[in-house]
Homo-oligomer: A and B are copies of this chain.
Amino acid sequence: MTYCLAIKLNSGLVFAGDTRTNAGVDRVASYRKLFTFGNGKTHSLAVMCSGNLATTQALVEMLGRSCQQQDGLFSDVSLFDTARRVGNILVDLIAEAQSRPANQGIDFGCNLILGGQVAGEEPRLFHIYPQGNFIETSVETPFMQIGEEKYGKPILDRIITPETPIDRALICALLSLDSTMKSNLTVDMPLDVLVYHRDTFDLDHTRRIEREDQDFNDMRRYWGDGLRRLIDGVAAFNI
């Protein structure tokens, strides 16, 4: 499994995901699931994937090639067009894999988060389904999750609004991942994060968080201790 999430804020976008892949419990590996594509001026995109690893790797390869083409990714005038482009590539890849006679009934699908900014637009954030269609975040629902999403949803539901400062949203995303890792073995370190500040077209604010990352472990400890203190402070229920 996988857990990736992205948040759209007034001040930009936050992406965070794990790197665990598994096909059954004895086929476990670590793969990057966060990929960026940008030209530093007019197009800055990030893609996160959850699902069939062969499909996602092929998709990322094809997006990279598209960046080199005149009528490719960097020619899109809106991130909506990029979402359609990516959705079409995804559908074609899945259809190709499924068309082989022996492959009937195998799931080649994957879910994608696509976010970023195209010059002239606000930053935007989409969830692209294996069917190729997609939904965009809204003011009421400013985040997207793919993969093992339930464990880490309450913290996002409680905290995130479009006004949340970008550094607090990042903390929230990391805590959402931390909760998921605590409760589910198929989501695991290292983590990849990307912070995109609006109108900068700068995709360099990334960090890989390894198991021994001091900042992350400090945060985990602070959070665990803080929750225990918080629960100690709740007034007792008379029952």
Chain B residues positioned under 8 Å from A222 (CB to CB): 233-235
Taking CB atoms and an 8 Å cut-off, the chain A residues in 138-175 that contact chain B are 150-155, 157-159, 167-168, 170-172, 174-175
Does chain B have a CB within 8 A of A31?
A: no
Chain B residues positioned under 8 Å from A154 (CB to CB): 151-152, 154, 179-180, 182-183
Cβ–Cβ contact A230 & B226, under 8 A:
yes
Contact with B along A102-142 (1 / 0, CB 8 A): 00000000000000000000000000000000000000000
Question: Which residues on A are within 8 Å of B, measured CB to CB?
Answer: 150-155, 157-159, 167-168, 170-172, 174-175, 179-180, 182-184, 193-195, 205-207, 215, 218-219, 222-224, 226-228, 230-239
19 residue pairs of the A-B complex, CB under 8 angstroms, read A154-B154, A154-B182, A157-B183, A158-B179, A158-B227, A158-B228, A167-B236, A170-B237, A171-B234, A175-B231, A193-B239, A194-B239, A207-B239, A215-B235, A215-B237, A218-B235, A222-B234, A223-B230, A226-B230
